[in-house]
């Protein structure tokens, strides 16, 4: 995996399909901007109940998007990250439909989890309410299987049926996915919903010792196929730190809300404390296909968070205020497919469409140790798509705009987008980023400095006037200083 900036995108929302995405990534105006791309689920179907995260066939590329050869084509020029959805499959999958038709007589019966398979002796109210939930209600959906009414485990939606990852059928299924991705030339797999993958009676069934054991086993299998592993977990920051020691990469989901808190309050203290303890083997993000997480910075029981509960309340209200109420319309009970721990909004709108503040947030992201990933809407400094939200009623669609070629061309000329591209090329090419990073500053001051031999790159953060924040570069050509204002004003 190259030490550069990666793109996160759907195969059909920035370009029409996988061949189109390859053409965009290798076009002169984008060729040096990204060293890798996380292509969000391109499996069959890519447009199901959860935007591809409910595949009927995880080993088959949706023919409307392309083929495995197209994935391999992208992998020849860019590091490819692909999702492995370890927790569930679609209710429309051939295996589940066979279970519905034949019940226990189906050869696939052991693949899926039911209430009785997890709790053969029944469960008390206390046991059921202890299950960790990302959404309201209990994680069960009634289906008639073989003429018998059964409660199937559905962590996310009724269309996403949880599998028993310990069953031989599930193991063979998951390994077949790794085989397909390994053959395609992919560099890294992202374990989607890994925290929910193992159900253990009497526990929260979220990030338990059994979950960690499963992740260890899966990581070993991925490594055998030449694949690195990125784990997606929204949880207390100490959980991120724990999982980081077991895998190649873990998301730094604390960074996005901490940066917003810092820019809203003018106080870098909480962010600086996180930078002192965070794992370095992280994938950094500001925006993703999901919302802006807040659970990642909050307290858990007696364990303090990176922010206090009152600070999180102020943060969430700040996002609503900066987005002029759009995020409120897309978050929680206001929209379907809701998550209890995320606010749905583009990052650009969460900063009130302030180019300088946005570029500063992005600069901090690419200077923080780790591999930066940039969501396609964020790469174009995108606005909230209220029309799409209104059309689908799905909160996260506010940040899932479908771009036309004309929109991409027009947005690429905007100052925030041009300056971001310059920043990404700098991150990809300056030798200092192959070295070590140090963090300094107090109160409203913050600086991040990378040093590798004679090469040095330093970001000085100015929270009072973000446009006056500066990047100082030292190398063979001497020293030069760039302010964010100059980057935004450059034609």
Annotated binding-site ranges = 50, 88, 190-192, 232, 289-290, 339-342, 396
Instruction: Supply 208's token pair.
Output: 């338990």
Beta strand 57-61 with 79-85 is unpaired
Give the C-alpha distances (Å, rounded to integers) separating 115 from 92, 95, 120, 154: 20, 19, 8, 10
Of the residues 228, 232, 385, 411, which is catalytic? Answer: 232
Binding site listing for substrate? 50, 339-342, 396
Handedness of CA 213, 217, 222, 226 (dihedral sign): positive
Task: Please identify which of the residues 12, 83, 192, 385 carries the catalytic annotation.
Answer: 192
144 contacts 150 by C-beta, under 8 angstroms: yes
Q: Annotated catalytic, 232?
A: yes
User: Look-up: residue for tokens 């995260």?
Assistant: 53
**98 counts as catalytic:** no
**In whole angstroms, what is the distance from residue 376 CA to residue 314 CA?**
28
Both tokens of 411, joined, read: 């947005």
d(CA 437, CA 433): 8
Question: In sequence order, which residues have a C-beta less than 8 Å from that of residue 460 and are 6 or more positions away?
Answer: 446, 447, 469, 470, 471, 472
Closest to 291 (Cα-Cα) out of 333, 329, 334, 341? 341
Residue 413, by phi and psi: left (phi above 0), alpha (psi -120 to 50) or beta? alpha
Annotated binding site for sucrose: 88, 190-192, 232, 289-290
Which positions are annotated as active-site residues?
Answer: 192, 232
């Amino acid at each position: 995996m190259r030490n550069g900036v990666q793109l996160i995108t759907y195969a059909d929302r920035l370009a029409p399909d996988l061949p189109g995405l390859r053409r965009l990534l290798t076009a002169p105006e984008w060729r040096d901007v990204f060293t890798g791309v996380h292509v969000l689920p391109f499996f069959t179907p890519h447009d199901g109940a959860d935007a591809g995260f409910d595949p009927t066939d995880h080993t088959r590329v949706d023919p409307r998007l392309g083929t495995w050869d197209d994935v391999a084509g992208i992998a020849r020029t860019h590091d490819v990250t692909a999702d492995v959805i370890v927790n569930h499959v679609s209710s429309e999958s051939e295996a589940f439909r066979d279970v519905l038709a034949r019940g226990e007589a189906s050869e696939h019966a052991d693949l899926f989890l039911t209430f009785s398979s997890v709790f053969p002796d029944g469960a008390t109210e206390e046991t059921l309410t202890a299950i960790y939930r990302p959404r309201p209600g209990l994680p069960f959906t009634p289906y008639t299987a073989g003429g018998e009414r059964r409660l199937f485990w559905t962590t996310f939606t009724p269309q996403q049926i949880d599998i028993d990852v310990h069953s031989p059928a599930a193991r063979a299924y998951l390994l077949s996915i790794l085989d397909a991705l390994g053959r395609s030339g992919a560099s890294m797999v992202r374990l989607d919903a890994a925290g929910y993958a193992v159900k253990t009676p009497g526990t929260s069934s979220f990030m338990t010792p059994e979950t960690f054991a499963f992740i260890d086993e899966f990581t070993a299998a991925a490594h055998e196929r030449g694949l690195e592993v990125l784990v997606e977990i929204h949880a207390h920051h100490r959980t991120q730190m724990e999982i980081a020691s077991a895998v190649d990469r873990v998301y730094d989901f604390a960074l996005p809300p901490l940066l917003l808190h810092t820019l809203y309050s003018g106080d870098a203290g909480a962010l600086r404390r996180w930078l002192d303890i965070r794992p370095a083997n992280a994938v950094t993000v500001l925006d993703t296909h999901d919302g802006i997480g807040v659970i990642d910075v909050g307290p858990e029981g007696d364990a303090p968070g990176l922010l206090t509960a009152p600070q999180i309340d102020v943060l969430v209200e700040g996002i609503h205020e900066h987005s002029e109420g759009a995020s409120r319309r897309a978050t929680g009970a206001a929209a379907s497919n809701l998550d209890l721990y995320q606010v749905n909004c583009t990052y650009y709108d969460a900063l009130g469409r302030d180019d300088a503040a946005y570029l500063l947030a992005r600069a901090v992201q690419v200077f923080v140790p780790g591999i930066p990933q940039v969501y396609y809407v964020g790469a174009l400094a995108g606005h909230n798509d209220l029309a799409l939200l209104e059309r689908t009623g799905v909160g996260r669609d506010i940040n899932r705009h479908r771009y036309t070629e004309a929109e991409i061309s027009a947005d690429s000329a905007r100052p925030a987008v041009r300056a971001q591209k310059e920043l990404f090329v700098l991150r990809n090419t300056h030798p200092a980023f192959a070295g070590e990073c140090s963090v300094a500053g107090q109160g409203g001051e913050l600086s991040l400095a990378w040093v590798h031999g004679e090469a040095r790159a330093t970001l000085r953060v100015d929270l009072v006037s973000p446009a006056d924040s500066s990047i100082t570069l030292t190398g063979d050509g001497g020293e030069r200083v760039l302010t964010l204002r100059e980057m935004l004003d450059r034609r």
